[in-house]
């Protein structure tokens, strides 16, 4: 269900895999990036900014793999305005049927003086050279004057005009530090349309950060002023306070089509499952009162609101929950349901599972069905999320555990883990609670000492027998790793989450060792 077909088309440029992944602790492995990229393509975004190829070998490989496998969408790579960045970006992008090189260079006075130490003339020369080099590789080139919303009007006009003359087909006007207000963004976009003589040869884009909580409002103001592209992320994740949230800008334009008179390609029914996928993959939870995709977005507790809803839904709901992916009927499956029914429900929830993933989810579904009377959509989403999080090859798996605890007795935990054909058992009674004891037991078995930086528990659904989903973040040798665990037993969820993080540490350590070996050879 895409937005209203009337009005001009607004391109949705999704940078979840680039700017979004820069959120602390949100890094994704290759399999996870491919999963999210496919979900974004299915959602209907126009452009996927898949990464910053020069940043790391992992980023390069992710952009390359996405370029080779994802279809029906333009794949974009970021590059600074220098030859090495641009060459590396094209090397990763050249396999995509539709590719874009996105070059950027700071233009504001504060960046020119303190970061680049370049004159305005040197900035224009560098920008032109960067765009021209990118244009030698592909016809679709985007140029961003970084910190454009704090750049002097005259100079910004000069840079934009020069970039378009050099071959830029999109000019992005970023509010890099989230400083601007909606009226300022509107005036700046309108100013460029009026003062840059060749502006009609390029699409104007906007990329707004949320430092002052105005990213969505600023993006919509840019559209009002004539911008044809919005750069955004799923759930608004990104540097610092994040970016404009894709689901919010899309539903604002769709719900208020009478005001904006624009359209997008987005299948809005996929917004919720895509949000849930990104949340699970990055470990960044969506707050309950988050617009569009939060658990409370369509919940009504006030008696006055409930009365109005019963009489006429539109009294307190300006959107239909079904339009963004929520379902009216939550209860769907039981212990007698088969693999085909589960696969069909997963598709309805917006997940495209591989045969191997479906097998893993089905096995856990059957175990859960023996422990719960009723299986809800939230349970299925949690199981799928766990399967996706376990995309890392699990070196350590849980075999058994036993917990004793009481108000006036010391907690004791015995954990048995498997590593290949071997099993290891360890007991711990030196924690200040069963959860702390679990951390100690796993640490002694795996010999991986971590520091827990974040630990969260939430119920996947309602009811006393709801699954508990544990999300945690641990630090190991100065790097952050996340873990996700799901079970009707909170202690078991915790162990599974710890092991998920430990297996990520092991996988990354092995990858680094392989890289060193290849370099030495």
CATH, residue 157: 3.20.20.70
Q: Do residues 150 and 219 share a domain?
A: yes
Range from 182-191, 270-279, 319-328, 409-418 that averages highest in pLDDT: 182-191
Residue 2 pLDDT grade (very low, low, confident, very high; cuts 50, 70, 90) = low
Residues 406 and 486 in one domain: yes
DSSP states of 428-440? E--SSSHHHHHHH
The answer to whether residue 516 scores a pLDDT higher than 50 is: no
The tally of CA atoms less than 13 A away on the side-chain side of residue 354 is: 9
Lowest model confidence (mean pLDDT) among 264-273, 329-338, 372-381, 399-408: 329-338
State pLDDT tens for residues 292-324: 998 777 765 455 555 565 566 677 678 888 888
CA angle, 474 as apex, 468 and 477 as ends, to 5°?
Answer: 165
pLDDT in tens, 73-86: 999 999 999 999 99
200 and 105 within one domain: yes
User: Do 401 and 508 sit in the same domain of this protein?
Assistant: yes
Would you place residue 283 in the very low, low, confident or very high pLDDT band (cuts 50, 70, 90)? confident
Assess if residue 3 is contained within a domain: no
State the residue for tokens 């809803």: 309
- List, in sequence order, every residue forming a beta bridge with 209; answer none if it has no partner: 243
- pLDDT tops 80 at residue 191: yes
Bridge pairing between strands 99-106 and 74-80: parallel
Whether 351 and 443 map to the same domain: the answer is no
Residue 209's pLDDT band (cuts 50, 70, 90): very high
CB 106 within 8 A of CB 127: no
Residue 206 and residue 163 share a domain: yes
In a domain, 287, yes or no: no
Q: Do 413 and 466 belong together in one domain?
A: yes
Confidence of residue 520 (pLDDT cuts 50, 70, 90): very low
pLDDT at residue 379, as a whole number:
81
Q: Has residue 288 been placed in a domain?
A: no
The answer to whether residue 403 is domain-embedded is yes
Give the global pTM.
0.79
Strand pairing of 11-14 and 229-232? parallel
Question: pLDDT band for position 31 (50/70/90)?
Answer: confident
Query: Would you place residue 484 in the very low, low, confident or very high pLDDT band (cuts 50, 70, 90)?
Result: confident
Angle, CA 97 vertex, CA 93 and CA 101 arms, to 5°: 35
pLDDT digits (tens, 9 = 90+) for 434-467: 899 999 999 999 999 999 999 989 887 766 677 8
Q: Which residues contact 32 (CB under 8 A, 6 or more apart)?
A: 281, 388, 391
Q: Do 301 and 152 fall within a single domain?
A: no
The CATH number for 434's domain is 3.30.160.270
Examine the fold and report which residue of 247, 282, 317 is the final residue of a domain before the chain moves on.
Answer: 282
* pLDDT > 50? residue 519: no
Least confident of 52-61, 129-138, 452-461: 452-461
- The pLDDT value recorded for residue 154 is 97
> For 331-336, what is the mean pLDDT?
64
**206 and 231 share one domain:** yes
Answer yes or no: is 291 within a domain. Answer: no
Residue 120 lies in a domain: yes
- Taking CA atoms, 242 is separated from 13, 125, 162, 210, 238, in Å, by 15, 31, 30, 5, 4
Residue 58: which domain range? 8-282
What's the pLDDT at 18? Answer: 96
Lowest mean pLDDT among 257-271, 344-358, 383-397, 447-461: 383-397
Return the residue matching tokens 């090189």.
Answer: 101
pLDDT tier for residue 365 given thresholds of 50, 70 and 90:
confident
Residue 145 has pLDDT above 80, yes or no: yes
> Residue 138's pLDDT is what?
96
Q: Which long-range contacts (CB under 8 A, 24 or more apart) does 253-260 make?
A: 253/3, 253/10, 253/220, 253/223, 254/3, 254/4, 255/318, 255/319, 257/3, 257/4, 257/6, 257/7, 260/7, 260/220, 260/223, 260/224
Token pair, residue 511, equals: 């990858």
Residue 289 within a domain: no
Most confident range, picked from 1-5, 113-117, 173-177 = 173-177
Query: Is residue 73 domain-shared with residue 117, that is, in the same domain?
Result: yes
> Lowest-confidence range among 22-26, 198-202, 266-270, 503-507?
22-26
Chain centroid to CA 286: how far?
A: 11
Output Rg (C-alpha) for the chain, integer angstroms: 25
Residue 290 lies in a domain: no
Residues 354 and 485 in one domain: no
If one counts the domains in the chain, the total is 4
pLDDT category at 331 given cuts 50, 70, 90 is very low
**Are both 313 and 352 inside the same structural domain?**
no
When mean pLDDT is compared across 68-82, 124-138, 153-167, 336-350, the lowest value belongs to 336-350
Q: Which pLDDT score is estimated for 255?
A: 97
């Amino acid at each position: 269900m895409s937005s209203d077909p009337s009005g001009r088309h607004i391109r949705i440029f999704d940078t979840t895999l680039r700017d979004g992944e820069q959120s602390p602790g949100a890094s994704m492995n290759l399999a996870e990036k491919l999963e999210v990229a496919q979900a974004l393509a299915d959602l209907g975004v126009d452009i996927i900014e898949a990464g910053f190829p020069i940043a790391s070998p992992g980023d390069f490989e992710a952009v390359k793999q996405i370029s080779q496998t994802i279809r029906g969408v333009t794949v974009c790579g970021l590059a600074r305005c220098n030859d090495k960045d641009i060459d590396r970006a094209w090397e990763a992008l050249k396999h995509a049927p539709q590719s874009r090189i996105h070059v950027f260079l700071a233009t504001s006075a504060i960046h020119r003086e303190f970061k680049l130490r370049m004159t305005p003339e040197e900035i224009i020369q560098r920008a032109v050279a960067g765009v021209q080099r990118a244009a030698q590789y592909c016809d679709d080139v985007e140029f961003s004057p970084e910190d454009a919303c704090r750049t002097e009007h005259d100079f910004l006009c000069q840079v934009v005009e020069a970039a378009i003359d050099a071959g830029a087909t999109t000019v992005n006007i970023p509010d890099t530090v989230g400083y601007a207000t909606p009226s300022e963004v509107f005036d700046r976009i309108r100013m460029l349309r009026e003062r840059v003589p060749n502006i009609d040869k390029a699409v104007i884009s906007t990329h707004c950060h949320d430092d002052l909580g105005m990213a969505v409002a600023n993006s919509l103001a840019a559209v009002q002023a004539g911008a044809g592209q919005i750069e955004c992320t799923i759930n608004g994740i990104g540097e610092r306070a994040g970016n404009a949230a894709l689901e919010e800008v899309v539903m604002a334009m769709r719900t208020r089509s009478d005001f904006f008179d624009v359209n997008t390609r987005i299948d809005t029914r996929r917004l919720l499952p895509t949000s849930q996928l990104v949340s699970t993959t990055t470990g960044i939870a969506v707050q309950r009162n988050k617009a569009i995709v939060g658990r409370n977005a369509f919940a009504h507790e006030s008696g006055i609101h409930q009365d109005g809803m019963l009489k006429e839904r539109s009294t307190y709901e300006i959107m239909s929950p079904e339009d963004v992916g929520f379902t009216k009927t939550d209860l769907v499956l039981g212990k007698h349901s088969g693999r085909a029914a589960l696969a069909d429900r997963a598709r309805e929830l917006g997940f495209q599972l591989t045969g191997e993933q479906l097998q893993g989810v089905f096995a856990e579904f059957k175990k859960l069905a023996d422990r719960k009377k009723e299986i809800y959509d939230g349970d299925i989403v949690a199981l799928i999320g766990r399967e996706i999080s376990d995309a890392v090859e699990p070196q350590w798996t849980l075999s058994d555990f036993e917990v004793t605890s009481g108000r006036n007795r010391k907690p004791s935990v015995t954990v048995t883990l498997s590593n290949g054909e071997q099993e290891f058992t360890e007991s711990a009674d030196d924690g200040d609670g069963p959860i702390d004891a679990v951390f100690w037991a796993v640490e002694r078995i795996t010999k991986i000492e971590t520091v827990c930086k974040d630990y969260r528990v939430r119920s996947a659904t309602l009811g006393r027998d709801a699954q508990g989903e544990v999300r945690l973040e641990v630090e190991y040798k100065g790097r952050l790793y996340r873990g996700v665990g799901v079970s009707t037993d909170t202690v078991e969820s915790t162990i599974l989450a710890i092991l998920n993080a430990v297996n990520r540490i092991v996988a990354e350590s092995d990858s680094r060792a392989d890289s060193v070996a290849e370099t030495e050879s």
